[in-house]
Amino acid sequence: MRKYFGTDGVRGRVGEFPMTPDFAMRLGWAAGQVLGAQGVSEVLIGKDTRASGYMLESALEAGFSAAGVNVALVGPLPTPAIAYLATTFRANAGLVISASHNPFYDNGIKLFAQSGHKLTDAQEQEIERWLQHALDEGMTCVSSEKLGKARRIEDAAGRYIEYCKSHFPSRQSLNGLKIVVDSANGAGYKVGPAVYRELGAEVISLHDAPNGVNINHECGATDLTSLRAAVIEQGADLGIALDGDADRLMMVDHTGAIVDGDELLFLLAREAQAAGYTGGVVGTQMSNLGLEQALAERGIAFKRAKVGDRYVMEQLTATGWRLGGEGSGHLLSLDHAATGDAIIASIRVLAALLAQGTTLHLAKQGMRKLPQTLVNVRYQAQEGVDPLGTPGVKAAMQAVEARLGTAGRVLLRKSGTEPLIRVMVEAEDADQANGCAQEIAGALG
């Protein structure tokens, strides 16, 4: 079991363990020990727009240097840009300093292999072994002539913009489209709007003035209020929302209606099928049943993974399929990017709309989302007692599942961060979903 690495790297509140400069330096040193022994000579480091990124970047640089590993610094860029640029700049690995959609006072550190994929569990466990040594016994340092060097790459953003544009068909153009882009005051604040403009769209840019503390604040993929209002006010064709590190995508149609990750995944799957894709789609336990039903109607296989893009990727690797994602907007299209890339996913959706001669509003009608209710129930942890396994809870689950049949779905899962049971019910109508969820929650309480 990993102690420090979660499903998306190491993450926490800045100034509190483990998000301290001392821990970051030791993590850089430990990663340098493991990756250096595997032939890595240079790590490319990027970050989002949090003020704490400067501190953590410097600490990581010191740790890698002490381990004899060079670093290449690219500054604020989307997480998927780092995954791509690590290859194009011939770095052997990539590292991103970001807490994605979290508030500014959090930050995180995640590592990529040169392939653009996240490190394996075995690699992270080996890094943790060295990290624990550094925390308990201290760090060593290579001799002065072997210290890692640092360089700053100036043209990284331009290269990534061209890379994104290469995934848009050359015979198409966004001329005539008015798009509102909400960059969440995050890592995509420059490159995102630039991509759409250079493809021909008229772009109204929102939340593109990061100040170190306004990332994700009432904006971006986690809060679509201002984007929805701007799309209607500007008479735009659609809106695009990125999260803080631009690996999650949410969209808004011309009426201001939200188009979430499940609906976007359906649109991408439909586009891929039309282009000859014969594989299936991987969602998660939280993916709306409407997605599964819409894919089945088109003869597209569907599997569910545990919540988290890491587990979606595991299923894609196991099946050989190329498409997956989460309702939160983390979309994987492995024919176009090695990791979730909001900008590339959005231009693939735009290309599909243009090819079909339709609007986002009409295209999403091909999938009907089922009403979903989520109830959080706090419980008192007791050793040897599984709150999900009591007779009362089992009976309530069985009664609800029998009532819903194939027209609904029930999911109970424990939170990984606090003593909560998450009760999720999907049904044909909202009242039924809510009533069933409350029934199960009552049994838990």
The pLDDT tens digits of the residues spanning 164-200 come to 999 999 999 999 999 999 999 999 999 999 999 999 9
Report the percent of the chain where pLDDT is more than 90. Answer: 87
The pLDDT tens digits of the residues spanning 355-390 come to 999 999 999 999 999 999 999 999 887 777 788 888
Element of type H or E holding 179: strand 178-182
- Whole-angstrom Cα distance, residue 348 to residue 340? 13
pLDDT of residue 229: 98
Token couple for 29: 């040193």
| pLDDT band per the 50, 70, 90 thresholds, residue 145 | very high
Say if residue 131's pLDDT is above 80: yes
pLDDT of residue 417: 64
Cβ-based neighbours of 415, under 8 Å, separated by 6 or more: 376, 421, 422
Helix, strand, coil share (%) of the chain residues, nearest 5: 40, 20, 40
pLDDT of residue 401: 94
pLDDT of residue 8: 80
pLDDT of residue 166: 97
The residue ranking higher by pLDDT, 187 or 420, is 187
316-338 average pLDDT score: 95
CB of 339 closer than 8 Å to CB of 79: yes
Q: What are phi and psi of 44, to 5 degrees?
A: -90, 125
The pLDDT tens digits of the residues spanning 261-298 come to 999 999 999 999 999 999 999 999 999 999 999 999 99
Tell me how far CA of residue 265 lies from CA of 279, 283, 330, 409, in angstroms.
14, 9, 9, 20
The pLDDT tens digits of the residues spanning 107-130 come to 999 998 877 778 888 999 999 999
Say if residue 7's pLDDT is above 80: no
pLDDT of residue 65: 98
Query: Which residues form the catalytic set?
Result: 100
pLDDT of residue 434: 95
Look at residues 424, 418, 311, 321 and name the one whose alpha carbon lies nearest to residue 371: 424
- Say what the pTM is: 0.92
Highest mean pLDDT among 35-44, 82-91, 257-266: 257-266
The pLDDT tens digits of the residues spanning 194-223 come to 999 999 999 999 999 999 999 999 999 999
| pLDDT band per the 50, 70, 90 thresholds, residue 416 | low
Average pLDDT, the chain: 94
224-228 average pLDDT score: 98
| pLDDT band per the 50, 70, 90 thresholds, residue 308 | confident
Q: What are phi and psi of 189, to 5 degrees?
A: -65, -25
